[in-house]
Chains A and B, each alone.
Chain A
Amino acid sequence: MKTKQMMNITMLIAISILFHLIEATIPLPLPIPGFKLGLANIVGLVALYLYNAKVMLSVNMMRVLLASLMRGILFSPGFWLSLCGVLLSSIAAICAKRNTSMTIFGVSCASSAFHVVGQVIAVTIIYNQFLMGALLPILLLLSIPTGLLTGFFANQVLKRIQTER
């Protein structure tokens, strides 16, 4: 049982790395720096609902670490932006699931909104400027539809996985 769970988590990490790398190559529909769909977060949410908070954190952290290694941006500013965003978004999702009565849609929105906040904080610290603050409201508003989208996908995945069990 222990080995099977470990295998499943490894598979989840592999899928999320794939999503992370694919997402980096898709051209963006809106010319706003920092805006993206957050497809990799689908896997994080699935991990949170299938297993527990610890598994989600490890899946997300391993994803950022390995995907950055593959793209060759480990320990560059882009890596720290990713790490800061994913840390805050994971913590927000875990807190939202544990402490409130939100469904997967709300949890997904919380995690995408806090991903934006984390990235803006990282930009402010690394580049030592408050200019990204001007983009924060727009990014926050955009994080709601993308959060709902990832929540919807994660919901569909969970439905199908649970019926197979």
Chain B
Amino acid sequence: MNKADKIFIGLVVISAILLYIPLFIQDSQNKHKQKEVVVDYQNEEILRVDLNKDETYRVQASLGEVQIEVKDGAVRVEKETSPYHLCSIQGWVKDTGRPIICLPNELVVQIEANETGEDDVDTVIQ
């Protein structure tokens, strides 16, 4: 390894960190908003539920039924049919920046901050 190699590696690491900053900022902004779980299948929204309500949902995807579990303000893919089971290995997710993507099933599970949440309601006293 020479100097040019190290410079290149440094550049990649710095750009990775820079790319992470907007996600981090977005996440801290959404911290106190009401959150929702959104499930997309083939780019179309098929399910939108409250993150604070514990329940298990079943949806149909490309390779069969997918079970999505919501518990204690976090969401995970419980059971699914796919070659490597990447999305169920990924486990619980509770931030907005990290979607669970299951490409073989063409399914995306993501947490979104509710824009019309309690934060938007202002109290007006006359």
Contacts and interface: CB of A to CB of B under 8 A. Distances in A.
Interface string B85-112: 0110111000001110111001010100
B125 interface: no
A95 to B, nearest CB: 12
Nearest to B22: A133
A101 B2 contact: yes
Interface residues of A, number: 33
Contacts of A110: 8
A62 interface: no
Nearest to A114: B12
B25 interface: no
A144 B5 CA distance: 11
A131 B12 contact: no
B77 to A, nearest CB: 11
Interface stretch (A11-19, A26-34, A38-46, A157-165): A26-34
A100 B84 contact: no
A141 interface: yes
B121 interface: no
Contact of A103 (B1, B15, B110): B1
A134 B98 contact: yes
A77 B87 CA distance: 18
A127 B8 CA distance: 30
A120 to B, nearest CB: 10
A96 B12 CA distance: 14
Contacts of A140: 12, 15-16, 19
Nearest to B10: A144
A50 to B, nearest CB: 20
B46 interface: no
A34 to B, nearest CB: 9
Nearest to A138: B16
Contact of A129 (B4, B43, B89, B98): B43
A143 interface: yes
Contacts of A32: 86, 90
A144 B4 contact: no
A27 B86 CA distance: 10
Given A103-B1, A137-B19, 5 more contacts: A31-B86, A32-B90, A102-B8, A131-B108, A137-B17
Interface of A: 27-28, 31-33, 77-78, 96, 100-103, 105-106, 109-110, 113, 123, 127-129, 131-138, 140-141, 143-144
7 contacts: A31-B86, A31-B89, A100-B8, A101-B4, A103-B4, A106-B5, A109-B9
